[in-house]
Structure 1
Amino acid sequence: MRTRPPKGHWILLLLTGVALFAALLVNGFATGEIGEGTERPGPAGGRAPDAATRAGPVLNLTGGTLRSARPSAGTIALTFDDGPDPEWTPRLLEVLRRHNARATFFSVGSKVARHPGLARRMVREGHEIGSHTYTHVDLGNAPSWRTRLELDLSQRALAGATGRGTRLLRQPFSGTPAALTGAQWRAARDAAGRGYLTVLTDRDTEDWARPGADAIVRRATAGTGRAGAIVMLHDSGGDRGETVRAVEEILERLSARGYRFTTVSESIGLRDGNPPASFTSRVVGKALVLGQLGSGWVVGGLTALFGVAAVLTVLRLVLLLAFARTHIAGTRRARHRRARRGAPPFLPPVSVIVPAYNEEAGIAATIGSLLDTGYPGPLEVIVVDDGSTDRTAEIAASFTGIPGVALIRKPNGGKPSALNAGVARARAEIVVLVDGDTVFQRDTIGNLVAPMADRRVGAVSGNTKVANRGGIIGRWQHIEYVIGFNLDRRLFDVLQCMPTVPGAIGAFRREALAAAGGVPSDTLAEDTDLTMAICRAGWRVVYEETALAWTEAPATLRQLWRQRYRWCYGTLQAMWKHRRALVERGASGRFGRRCLSYLALFQVALPVFAPAVDVFTLYGLLFLDPGTLALTWLSFTALQALAGWYALRLDGERARTLWVLPLQQVVYRQLMYLVVVQSLVTAVLGARLRWQTIRRAGTFDPTPDLPAHQPAP
């Protein structure tokens, strides 16, 4: 076992975040979410030269001289733009196969990379593939660097998918030579410098507008005599059912008139429009194809994860609120039944165990609050000094002259050993365990032990409150304690699967402690480990919201990190230790399938993947519609605020503290996610985390001035 947590995984986490963002950028560029001019025709830029507008549909501008070509007589070159499309391209290929016809597909490079199998099928069946840029950008409106990038990426994608290149280019938004604009002319001239022939069309069917199959056929067959023609159609960009039906009829009509259907290259006498690509181009192309496919999978996964996380978050809030109402109703009914029976108050002897290690800042306040209790039954207070190196034992010893107060001194052995030593010394059947930085209210002990009138109850969780809530960090923790911890405990109480009786305040039946084997020492979350063992032994563990304990929360982010790191790591240890409960029967199985599944989903899985969701959110704010994302974020924040208001009302707290909730969503939440990531990596790599001590600021003095609390009616 490692004795220190690993450090290198932070670099891995950062690199993973960068890789996810890079994948989003790649996919965004390929799908047109990023990049200027995508899917938008630019300004015409004047007219092309008259010689070009009167030329044939294939322009050769290499060497700076305009030469053009037309298909030979009796040949028709069907061309399809904007694909390949997984739905419509295969259907068109099937129509062409039945008629033994070949065609030219001016494909978008990013779609070739997304559907390389379709590109290979085109080549295998004798068709030709030309470039239609990588993202369907208007080259006439694009800067020169973007033009180079579009053409190069398109070539690489084709080489990676089919092992071939192309000499043919059709600019998006182009048409017949007569419609050639000045901007398109300049783009064609630039492309010629890179070895491309620009292919226009003789007959633009405008099938993209879906004018009907008859209109498409009429425009495609409008010529007279035996003149050849290049016909423009589309195999992507929406519903192409009309195009599929029209191609079938075009092939039948023109074949009956003696026309032959071939590729653009063959129709003008060009030897090979798709020459073999170089080895380097094929290797780079395969990397591009794999990279784009991978980025698409990543984005698809993140999109799905975003949706699942959103649904689960809403579902969890709804369940918490619903079970909170159920818990309140059940508690009221139980109290009403006890009142109707007229039974005397349940006031058993109680032993309070206070483990203390270097708690001089708050131990006097803790002991003082226990002695000032309003509990009328027999009560003893046992302070266990676990080898403190400060004045903790000295301060505790000053109380031992008071009847019922005892001090045990022992070498440092850890909190579980201190608790077990106190339990062994205790005389009462009901044992209350209290942290050395916690202060009780006068009615706390009575309220805490009241549910144990039911012999089925083995442990009771009290209601922990943050005392030092003055700063922003304290307010964040206050909200977390009320909204998260206490709402969760109400749910767990109703479902009879409580995972944790907090170390700050909990009551235990001695018999239940014995059934669990005492306070365990093999995890860092001894309170969670103990509670899970008690639940698995068949005891009920309940939550009593009126049993209030005020605790000092970490005052700095560093102290908060250390505390939550220990809590989270210890909880993971306890979950793993009790994993067999998932497959067992009876009370243990009920606990495992309800509680462990809930913890694994909401306290492990979602936090682990939350940084990826945040990366996706950052990408969306930069490149997508920020208004939609902002509205989504505000909606979730409002929903959480509503749940927070209800939770605060249940606990008798003021709702004005909710003003820190929005900021909590962009700072505190990420800190808690990173705690889970750190804990999980530490556990997986086999490191053993040491106990993380928290430096106390001394929030309580011997007569603490606690915030007022009035339980909700």
Structure 2
Amino acid sequence: MTENTTGSRKRRHATPSRIEQVRRQAIPKPRVIVALLLLVGLVSVLLLDGYLRSEVGGDQRVRSDASSSEVPESVADGGPFLTFENGRPRTQSVADRTIVLTFDDGPDPEYTDQVLKILDDNDVPGTFFLIGSMISRYPGVVKKMVADGNEVGVHTFTHVDLSYQSAARVKREIAQTQLALAGAAGITTTLFRAPYSSTNDAIDNESWPVYQRLGAMGYTSVFIDTDSEDWQLPGVDKIIKWATPKSGKGAAVLFHDAGGDREETLTALPKYIKRMKAKGYTFTTVSGAQQQDRQQAGDTFGGPQDGAQGNLLQAAHHKATGTTLWEGRALIAAVAVAEWSVPGLAVGLAVVGVAVMGRFGLMLVLARRHYRQRNRRRFAWGPPVYEPVSVIVPAYNEKECIANTLNSLAASTHPIEIVLVDDGSTDGTAEIAEALGLPNLRVIRQENAGKSAALNNGVRQARYDIVVMMDGDTVFEPDTVRLLVQPFGDPGIGAVAGNAKVGNRDTLIGAWQHIEYVMGFNLDRRMYDLLRCMPTIPGAIGAFRREAVLAVGGMSEDTLAEDTDITIALHRAGWRVVYAEHARAWTEAPASIGQLWRQRYRWSYGTMQALWKHRRSVLDRGPSGRFGRVGMPLVVLFQVVTPVFAPLIDVFTVYAMIFVDFKASLLAWLAVLLVQLLCAAYAFRLDREKYRYLLMLPLQQIAYRQLMYLVLIHSSVTALTGGRLRWQKLKRTGEVGTPRAGAGAL
């Protein structure tokens, strides 16, 4: 027998239900998994693209002053083809009056194709030393190159000086290039040329071990006898002169088919070929030259035995099979994704960035105009509104807040009736309200049916032509109702949005929401008011003509954002919706990330539902079509599209800071933050708020964007799967009390 005493700790047994609860908590939620997968995919694509462009892992160092004392003299003075047989270095030369045309740094989508055409027109082969990253980006060029009978070799994956790299990096550079070749042309090669290499006598003590390791792996390292130096753009005549061997000697000649402007090379190459043929020279590949050298020495080691020219041309090539072939194809596919997606994302971000900056500018201009217009001494909507109004308070389990809400309404300076619609509360909300004994309060009980049903019930039972709707956790200032209903002096106005304020703003989440409410909501509403396309009347504070609400069918249960739904419906019915910034309501922001998630999820998903429901508004004509023409595109762009791109901006910024230019990227991010800070400061000034809360803005921009990204992913998945939600109740504390008259900012 277990005895429980006051203050004792109750032990929770491992019941099946408890085990299942713990299991569910331990399993990541689908929305988190989807978001993480998207983030990992984006980062992977960025890193791959950066690696291809040498932004990630790039090394621009080039060695130029090392000693060559450890290089064997036979190698330094030998021919341009270096192999290692049985661990011993061996060089081979090009036969007299024979040219091996070699090309570095390709493939290039513009110049390599033209070089291949020149070679084909003159019926000569070439040996191309290719950069793996370029192969991955332009596999079609390589496939054509090999199909035309040319030979290819490895020129590393990122064009780094291998003498500075570790053995693991050297091996990786070679292996990745081979994979790229396998994916592009279905082959691998045994030829290698190091970046920044030249003649044999330029081999130094730092690079010699690299060649030894590659030789042990079966590679032939290829150097040059003659350098055209076409990369210097010296002019066509000098390129031809510098590429021409002396005294009828054979030579491995260096040209470039990529890496810059190759127009001079394209002009010089056909002239060079014709001139060398006229002098009696023949052209072959590295493998062909090696075979000729072996035949002259009476050694057929490693070469084809039949002597067929076709075999000689591609003796260095081996067919890629098995894992190598499929990994190569996967690499080419991944690079293709990166090549398309990264520029596309960059363009998308640029468009979004311009749009966001344009929106900030438009908001500032229109907010200023709105403030001046509505605060003129003689400004009036029409005749003053003195008639009583009905205030509808839908409530579901609001015992913590309902007393403060109703007491704030009881202090109203405008005549009102209070209609509390209790939507099946189980915590005594209705009883608490009745115990207050307020003379102008009616409590209506109904079975739990959701917020829309509660509001519709209240509208049907309202006694007056103007109805004010508010949340059960919100408190009004004494003048709020009077200021909120004055726009109805204009008979064309069907609804009025009030100014919702965060009451519990001294917490981190409360401060974030305070900034969002002042800047993101109320500054927006000033803009939308002047554009006559207000998208949402906040559930915390809004007023409606009762006839207008009933005419459009009341608060729809089709969406979770009944406030956005009814607002768009009123626009389409021809009513004008305006913003009364001086009519303030104080609401309680969620106290935890989980509660904030639920609230924003409901708003985000509900907004998507409402926009989809009213998608045909873009076809509406006349004054009633203004929302479809102006408001719908703005809401879609800035409430759906922009939140998706916002985290990408952070990812791109971090990437640029690490791999591109830290200072420039940081300054760009700070510039955007400064623009946001100025907009927020101006919004705070218009609402007469304290600036100290803006100290939270940088953290809000970093953390809040990621939260909104996850919320939007969650909402999108729910929308795509057709999920539906009921009225979600947030946990309240009741800490937002009844405000004083003209309380202003807390």
Contact kept in structure 2, 1:36 and 1:142, CA below 8 Å:
no
Contact kept in structure 2, 1:174 and 1:184, CA below 8 Å:
no
In the TM superposition, residue 42 of structure 1 has moved relative to its aligned partner by: 7.5
Question: Which residue, 492, 507, 510 being the options, matches 1:471?
Answer: 507
Aligned 1:206-285 pairs, distance under 5 A:
206-221=229-244, 223-269=245-291, 271=312, 272-280=314-322, 281-285=324-328
Structure-2 separation of matches of 1:337 and 1:594: 26
Please tell me the residue identity of whatever aligns with 1:21.
V
Question: Which residue, 661, 665, 670 being the options, matches 1:634?
Answer: 670
Which residue of structure 1 aligns with residue 641 of structure 2? 605
Residues 389, 330 of structure 1: alpha-carbon distance in 2 compared, 3 angstrom cutoff: same
Structure-1 separation of matches of 2:65 and 2:744: 69
Which residue of structure 2 aligns with residue 18 of structure 1? 40
Residues 277, 548 of structure 1: alpha-carbon distance in 2 compared, 3 angstrom cutoff: same
Contact kept in structure 1, 2:396 and 2:423, CA below 8 Å:
yes
Question: Which residue, 177, 186, 192 being the options, matches 1:163?
Answer: 186
Which residue of structure 1 aligns with residue 391 of structure 2? 352
Cα distance per residue 1:196-253 (max 9 Å; x no partner): 11110011222223333332222112x3332111111211111122222222332232
Unaligned runs of 5+ in 2: 1-23, 292-302, 304-311
Which residue of structure 1 aligns with residue 355 of structure 2? 312
Aligned 1:564-643 pairs, distance under 5 A:
564-643=600-679
Kindly tell me the number of residue pairs found equivalent between the two proteins.
698
Structure-2 separation of matches of 1:77 and 1:401: 102
Q: Is structure 2 residue 314 aligned with structure 1 residue 292?
A: no
Which residue of structure 1 aligns with residue 125 of structure 2? 102
Moved more, 589-598 or 350-359: 589-598
Structure-2 separation of matches of 1:43 and 1:298: 42
Residues 39, 214 of structure 1: alpha-carbon distance in 2 compared, 3 angstrom cutoff: farther
Moved more, 207-216 or 486-495: 207-216
Structure-2 separation of matches of 1:706 and 1:127: 87
Q: Is structure 2 residue 466 aligned with structure 1 residue 423?
A: no
Which residue of structure 1 aligns with residue 400 of structure 2? 361
Which residue of structure 2 aligns with residue 647 of structure 1? 683
Structure-2 separation of matches of 1:664 and 1:61: 62
Higher relative contact order (CA 8 A, sep 6+): 1
What SS class does the counterpart of residue 182 from structure 1 fall into? coil
In the TM superposition, residue 46 of structure 1 has moved relative to its aligned partner by: 3.8
Which residue of structure 1 aligns with residue 430 of structure 2? 393
What SS class does the counterpart of residue 409 from structure 1 fall into? strand
Structure-2 separation of matches of 1:17 and 1:462: 38
Structure-1 separation of matches of 2:610 and 2:530: 22
In the TM superposition, residue 40 of structure 1 has moved relative to its aligned partner by: 4.0
Please tell me the residue identity of whatever aligns with 1:286.
R
Unaligned runs of 5+ in 1: none
Structure-2 separation of matches of 1:694 and 1:43: 71
Cα distance per residue 1:493-540 (max 9 Å; x no partner): 122221211111111011211221112223221111111111111100
Contact kept in structure 1, 2:370 and 2:530, CA below 8 Å:
yes
What SS class does the counterpart of residue 130 from structure 1 fall into? strand
Cα distance per residue 1:595-632 (max 9 Å; x no partner): 22222222112223444444444433443333232222
Which residue of structure 2 aligns with residue 138 of structure 1? 161
Contact kept in structure 1, 2:384 and 2:489, CA below 8 Å:
no
In the TM superposition, residue 138 of structure 1 has moved relative to its aligned partner by: 1.6
Moved more, 164-173 or 44-53: 44-53
What SS class does the counterpart of residue 619 from structure 1 fall into? helix
Please tell me the residue identity of whatever aligns with 1:169.
F
Structure-2 separation of matches of 1:110 and 1:248: 28
Cα distance per residue 1:13-35 (max 9 Å; x no partner): 32232232222233332322222
Structure-2 separation of matches of 1:369 and 1:137: 73
Please tell me the residue identity of whatever aligns with 2:41.
A
Using the aligned pairs only, state the percent identity: 49
Aligned 1:450-489 pairs, distance under 5 A:
450-489=486-525
In the TM superposition, residue 487 of structure 1 has moved relative to its aligned partner by: 1.6
Contact kept in structure 1, 2:383 and 2:489, CA below 8 Å:
no
Structure-2 separation of matches of 1:666 and 1:395: 42
Aligned 1:532-547 pairs, distance under 5 A:
532-547=568-583
Cα distance per residue 1:53-92 (max 9 Å; x no partner): 1101111223222221221122111211011111221222
Residues 36, 539 of structure 1: alpha-carbon distance in 2 compared, 3 angstrom cutoff: closer
Structure-1 separation of matches of 2:743 and 2:235: 75
What SS class does the counterpart of residue 86 from structure 2 fall into? helix
Contact kept in structure 2, 1:89 and 1:235, CA below 8 Å:
yes
Q: Which runs of 4+ in 1 moved over 6 A?
A: none
Residues 300, 166 of structure 1: alpha-carbon distance in 2 compared, 3 angstrom cutoff: same
What SS class does the counterpart of residue 390 from structure 2 fall into? strand
Contact kept in structure 2, 1:168 and 1:199, CA below 8 Å:
yes
Residues 399, 656 of structure 1: alpha-carbon distance in 2 compared, 3 angstrom cutoff: same
Aligned 1:657-676 pairs, distance under 5 A:
657-676=693-712
Which residue of structure 1 aligns with residue 537 of structure 2? 501
Which residue of structure 2 aligns with residue 50 of structure 1? 73
Structure-2 separation of matches of 1:67 and 1:488: 76
Contact kept in structure 2, 1:201 and 1:231, CA below 8 Å:
yes
Structure-2 separation of matches of 1:154 and 1:346: 79
Structure-1 separation of matches of 2:35 and 2:48: 20
Please tell me the residue identity of whatever aligns with 2:321.
F
In the TM superposition, residue 399 of structure 1 has moved relative to its aligned partner by: 4.1
In the TM superposition, residue 43 of structure 1 has moved relative to its aligned partner by: 6.6
Question: Which residue, 520, 539, 550 being the options, matches 1:514?
Answer: 550
Structure-2 separation of matches of 1:653 and 1:45: 71
What SS class does the counterpart of residue 37 from structure 1 fall into? coil
Structure-2 separation of matches of 1:543 and 1:42: 71
Structure-2 separation of matches of 1:357 and 1:89: 72
Contact kept in structure 2, 1:305 and 1:613, CA below 8 Å:
no
In the TM superposition, residue 648 of structure 1 has moved relative to its aligned partner by: 0.8
Question: Which residue, 74, 78, 93 being the options, matches 2:97?
Answer: 74
Q: Is structure 2 residue 217 aligned with structure 1 residue 178?
A: no
Cα distance per residue 1:552-583 (max 9 Å; x no partner): 11111111111111111211221121122122
Please tell me the residue identity of whatever aligns with 1:294.
V
Moved more, 283-292 or 32-41: 32-41
Please tell me the residue identity of whatever aligns with 1:586.
G
Residues 512, 344 of structure 1: alpha-carbon distance in 2 compared, 3 angstrom cutoff: closer
Structure-2 separation of matches of 1:497 and 1:83: 55
Aligned 1:688-703 pairs, distance under 5 A:
688-701=724-737, 703=738
Question: Which residue, 442, 447, 469 being the options, matches 2:483?
Answer: 447
RMSD of equivalent CA atoms: 2.3
What SS class does the counterpart of residue 318 from structure 2 fall into? coil
Structure-2 separation of matches of 1:708 and 1:626: 46
Which residue of structure 2 aligns with residue 370 of structure 1? 409
Please tell me the residue identity of whatever aligns with 1:14.
L
Contact kept in structure 2, 1:61 and 1:188, CA below 8 Å:
no
Structure-2 separation of matches of 1:465 and 1:622: 40
In the TM superposition, residue 255 of structure 1 has moved relative to its aligned partner by: 2.5
Which residue of structure 1 aligns with residue 57 of structure 2? 35
Structure-1 separation of matches of 2:60 and 2:624: 59
Residues 39, 105 of structure 1: alpha-carbon distance in 2 compared, 3 angstrom cutoff: farther
Contact kept in structure 2, 1:302 and 1:616, CA below 8 Å:
no
